[in-house]
Structures are given as structure tokens and as C-alpha cells.
């Protein structure tokens, strides 16, 4: 049962976003980092679809069980369609990623170990926490089969909906996995989700390193090592970004500031860098004909001098 819960959580938060992201990457050249682009863009797409669907359902009072199964079936159908359509793109992308792993060396393995330690830290220190507001909202939604209608603190019915909870109903996303698999909300937030979100955060940092360092593996490894060091020793404040990632990786703040914003920055840098490279290539092409023409002119002058001589 535990294995099925882990597999469903992995499929829901990792495999499905990766498949959704192929909608954008299939039209671009395949690189060793294409899988990470698929993963991050697919995560943004899944969160956007969740927001578009869940907000009307909350306002209309749709039962939570119907929403959970409906949203899951919708994502499954969309993923199967994209997987069947872009299967060659997936094979090529993952093949390039696996071939690129050979160049990581000992330093890359050491960075992976550091990331694994950071995933283990919140699991070790927070797995025995008795109560959590997010887990309470998830449990309340599942037990009452409603969405944001009951107070998770007191269990009493709320007189109305709170705007902040309706706009960012992230606990309802976790509740889908908890309801379908039967895993405890606290166990889901403290064991499985840190592994997912911390991995996403470092995938976003790897994309930024790839853009800034032109795909040089050694420099990327050094960059990732320093990011790991900043994250592991950035506990100068409980409100720092690095502590948010390690202590509360399941919150909206951590996902937005540690994953979505770095991912958007990497995509913007890629979009800005490509036109510059194209422009420099066009300039080089233009210069070649001019040099050839100057060579022809010089040859004609030499011929004229010989004739005159």
C-alpha cells in the first residue's frame, strides 16, 4: 500500500507535469536539459489548470470528492493524449539526459548527495509534528466533503468564504492525493512533498546555471554546489528563503519564490539569449560576402596592373 501511495504521488506531481510540459518543448531542439524544461513548465501548467478549475468549483459548492476524481481523470486523459502524441520527443529527451549524466563525475554525485540530505532533513525533523494548518484544512475538506466551508481550527461552519483561501487553495491540491491514496495529510506534507518540491527547486536552479554558463558541466556543478551550501547554511532567519524551502516547502510562498520565479527567470533568459545569438550569426553571415567581394575587387586590380605593365 505504501508503495502505491508513493507511486501515485510521484505520478501526480512529477510524471504528469513532465508530460504536460512536452506541449511546449516538442517544437524546440532537444538538449540534455529539455527534461527539466518539461518538468518546470508542466508544473506551472498544472498549477494554472488547478486554479482555473478549483476556484469556480469552490464558489459553486461542488463536493470535494467529485472535484478530486474529476480533476484527476482530466489530468490523466490529457497526459495520455500528450504522451501518445509526443512519445518520440520523450524518448529522445530522456536519452540525451541519460547520456549527459556520464559527464557529471564525482562532483556531480556529491551535489546529488547534498540535495538528498536536504530532502531528508525536513522528513527527519518534522515527520512527528502533531498538527499543521495545511494538513488540518486537507483533513477537514476530506472528512466533510466540502471545500473551505468549515474552520479547520474549530470544525464549525464558516459564515462565508475567505478571499485569500479561495485564491490560493493549495491544500485542496494536496487533498486530491490524500483522498485517492488514503495517505495521511501530515505524512504527505512531511515526507513526500519535501522530496518533490526541493527537487523542483534545484531543477530550476540547474536551468538558470545552464543558461548563464552556456551548458558547461563543470561550471554548472560548481554553481549547484554553492546553491546547496547557501541553502544548507542559510538559517540566519526563520523567514529566509532557504529556511522556507527546508521547513515549509509545501506552502505557496516556497513554491512561488523557490520554483516558479526561478523557472520563469530561466525561460526569460533563454528567450533573450537566443535572439542575440541569432543576431550575431546573421551579422557574421553578412560580413562574409563583403570580405569575398573585397577579395574579388583586389584580384581585379591586380589583373589590371599586370595588363598595364
Cβ(256)–Cβ(245) below 8 Å:
no
Q: Please say whether the dihedral angle defined by the alpha carbons of residues 199, 201, 202 and 203, taken in this order, is positive or negative.
A: positive
Tell me the whole-structure pTM to 2 decimals.
0.80
Q: What is the band of 72 on the pLDDT scale with cuts at 50, 70, 90?
A: very high
Cβ(2)–Cβ(19) below 8 Å:
no
Biggest CA–CA distance in the chain, Å, is 108
Residue 199 has pLDDT above 80, yes or no: yes
Residue 302 has pLDDT above 70, yes or no: no
Phi and psi (nearest 5°) for 216?
Answer: -80, 120
What pLDDT digit, counting tens, does each position of 206-249 carry?
A: 888 888 888 788 888 888 888 888 887 876 666 667 777 777 78
Q: What is the band of 98 on the pLDDT scale with cuts at 50, 70, 90?
A: confident
Q: What is the band of 69 on the pLDDT scale with cuts at 50, 70, 90?
A: very high
H-helix or E-strand spanning residue 76: helix 64-85
User: What DSSP state is assigned to residue 13?
Assistant: I
What pLDDT digit, counting tens, does each position of 131-185 carry?
A: 678 888 898 999 999 998 888 888 788 887 777 778 888 899 999 999 999 888 8
C-alpha cell at position 75: 489530468
Query: Given 3-state DSSP classes, what are the helix, strand and coil percentages for the chain, each rounded to the nearest 5?
Result: 80, 0, 20
C-alpha cell at position 17: 507535469
Closest CA to 85 of 128, 23, 24, 139: 23
C-alpha cell at position 254: 516556497
Q: Is 157 helix (H, G, I), strand (E, B) or coil?
A: strand
Please list, in sequence order, all residues whose beta carbon lies within 8 angstroms of the beta carbon of residue 92, skipping any fewer than 6 positions away.
30
48, HSE (Cβ side, Cα atoms, 13 Å): 10
Amino acid at each position: 500500500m505504501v508503495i502505491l501511495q508513493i507511486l501515485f504521488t510521484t505520478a501526480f506531481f512529477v510524471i504528469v507535469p513532465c508530460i504536460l510540459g512536452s506541449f511546449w518543448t516538442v517544437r524546440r531542439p532537444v538538449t540534455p536539459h529539455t527534461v527539466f524544461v518539461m518538468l518546470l513548465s508542466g508544473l506551472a501548467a498544472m498549477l494554472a489548470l488547478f486554479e482555473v478549475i478549483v476556484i469556480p468549483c469552490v464558489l459553486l459548492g461542488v463536493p470535494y470528492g467529485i472535484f478530486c476524481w474529476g480533476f484527476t481523470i482530466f489530468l490523466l486523459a490529457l497526459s495520455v493524449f500528450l504522451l501518445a502524441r509526443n512519445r518520440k520527443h520523450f524518448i529522445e529527451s530522456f536519452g540525451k539526459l541519460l547520456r549527459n549524466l556520464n559527464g557529471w563525475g564525482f562532483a556531480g554525485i556529491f551535489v546529488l548527495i547534498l540535495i538528498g540530505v536536504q530532502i531528508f532533513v525536513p522528513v527527519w525533523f518534522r515527520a512527528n509534528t502533531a498538527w499543521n494548518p495545511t494538513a488540518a484544512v486537507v483533513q477537514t475538506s476530506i472528512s466533510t466533503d466540502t471545500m473551505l466551508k468549515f474552520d479547520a481550527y474549530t470544525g464549525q461552519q464558516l459564515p462565508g468564504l475567505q478571499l485569500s483561501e479561495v485564491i490560493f487553495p493549495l491544500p485542496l491540491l494536496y487533498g486530491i492525493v490524500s483522498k485517492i491514496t488514503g495517505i495521511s495529510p501530515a505524512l504527505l506534507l512531511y515526507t513526500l512533498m519535501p522530496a518533490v518540491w526541493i527537487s523542483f527547486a534545484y531543477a530550476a536552479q540547474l536551468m538558470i546555471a545552464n543558461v548563464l554558463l552556456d551548458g558547461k558541466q563543470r561550471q554548472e556543478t560548481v554553481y549547484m554546489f554553492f546553491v546547496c551550501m547557501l541553502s544548507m547554511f542559510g538559517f540566519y532567519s526563520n523567514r529566509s528563503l532557504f529556511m522556507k524551502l527546508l521547513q515549509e516547502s509545501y506552502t505557496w510562498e516556497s513554491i512561488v519564490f523557490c520554483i516558479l520565479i526561478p523557472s520563469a527567470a530561466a525561460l526569460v533568459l533563454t528567450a533573450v539569449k537566443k535572439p542575440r545569438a541569432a543576431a550575431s550569426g546573421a551579422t557574421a553571415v553578412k560580413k562574409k560576402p563583403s570580405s569575398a567581394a573585397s577579395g574579388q575587387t583586389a584580384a581585379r586590380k591586380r589583373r589590371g596592373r599586370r595588363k598595364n605593365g
